[in-house]
């Protein structure tokens, strides 16, 4: 068992960060060694490790079974902190639920556009149909205009997600930082996408360390190349006790 490090709180995005981006959201694959690495690192950090994702908590749990981690799903609409789980109820979003049914019909003749129903949010993917980007974006923004100010569009890599305005990775990281075992620690957040930029902003404001995976404009302080590079860094920290991200590598 490694020594406990109580200086840091580690927050990790999932898609494009811990795992590689895939063409279909249901085809994501988790490296076989990753759950054990995260568990060892979680212990080293005295429990202060959480996954911060746009995926639902149930989806993440299913990919990391039998390990259980603190996490925020659906950009913070769901979260588990120190084992206490708070879930989002889709029935509290009837207008959004009605919209999901309409979206399927709207994109029915657009081959390659995928609708991902997450219960309390819905994502429109065009990775398989890059020529339909403008159509997908227009559809998402028209839907939010119809839903009203309680909802917004979250842009990502070949995806536009319609979700409650209260959701945001920065907001939920802030919440974690006010609760044990995260309170009083220097936060580190690793992400790869536009959805992670407000998380970087929160972490930077707390004097923490923000890490961007891959290319693209960012306010993150450090950049790593690929999810594989990150997994190597995390393994180094977990097994050797060396803090990664001191430069643009481990």
Annotated catalytic residues are 13
Pick the closest to residue 170 from 113, 210, 130 (CA basis).
Answer: 210
How far does the chain reach from its first CA to its final CA, in angstroms?
Answer: 22
**168 is written with which tokens?**
């945001």
- How do strand 70-73 and strand 222-224 relate by DSSP bridges? unpaired
Pick the closest to residue 192 from 169, 162, 208 (CA basis).
Answer: 169
Residue 133: is it exposed, middle or buried by C-beta count within 10 angstroms (0-12/13-18/19+)?
Answer: middle
**108 is written with which tokens?**
């029915």
Pick the closest to residue 75 from 138, 152, 127, 184 (CA basis).
Answer: 152
Dump strand ranges (E) for 54-158: 70-73, 78-81, 84-86, 114-117, 122-125, 151-156
């Amino acid at each position: 068992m490694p020594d406990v490090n109580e200086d840091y709180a580690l927050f990790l995005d999932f898609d494009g960060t811990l795992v590689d981006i895939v063409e279909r959201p249901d085809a994501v694959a988790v490296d076989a060694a990753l759950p054990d690495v995260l568990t060892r690192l979680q212990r080293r950090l005295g429990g202060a490790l959480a996954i911060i994702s746009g995926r639902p908590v149930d989806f993440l749990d299913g990919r990391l079974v039998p390990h259980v981690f603190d996490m925020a799903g659906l950009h913070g609409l769901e979260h588990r902190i120190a084992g206490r789980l708070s879930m989002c109820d889709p029935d509290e979003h009837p207008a959004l639920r009605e919209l999901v049914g309409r979206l399927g019909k709207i994109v029915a003749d657009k081959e390659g556009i995928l609708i991902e129903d997450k219960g309390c949010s819905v994502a429109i993917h065009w990775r398989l149909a890059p020529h339909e980007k403008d159509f997908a974006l227009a559809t998402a923004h028209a839907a939010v205009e119809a839903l009203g100010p309680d909802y917004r569009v979250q842009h990502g890599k070949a995806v536009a997600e319609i979700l409650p305005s209260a959701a945001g990775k920065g907001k939920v990281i802030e919440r974690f930082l006010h609760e044990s075992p995260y309170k009083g620690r220097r936060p580190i957040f690793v992400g790869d996408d536009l959805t992670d930029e407000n998380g970087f902003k929160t972490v930077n404001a707390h004097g923490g360390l923000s890490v961007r995976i891959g290319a693209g404009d960012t306010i993150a302080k450090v950049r790593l190349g690929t999810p594989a590079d990150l997994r190597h860094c995390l393994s180094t920290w977990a097994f050797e006790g060396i803090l990664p991200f001191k430069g643009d590598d481990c």
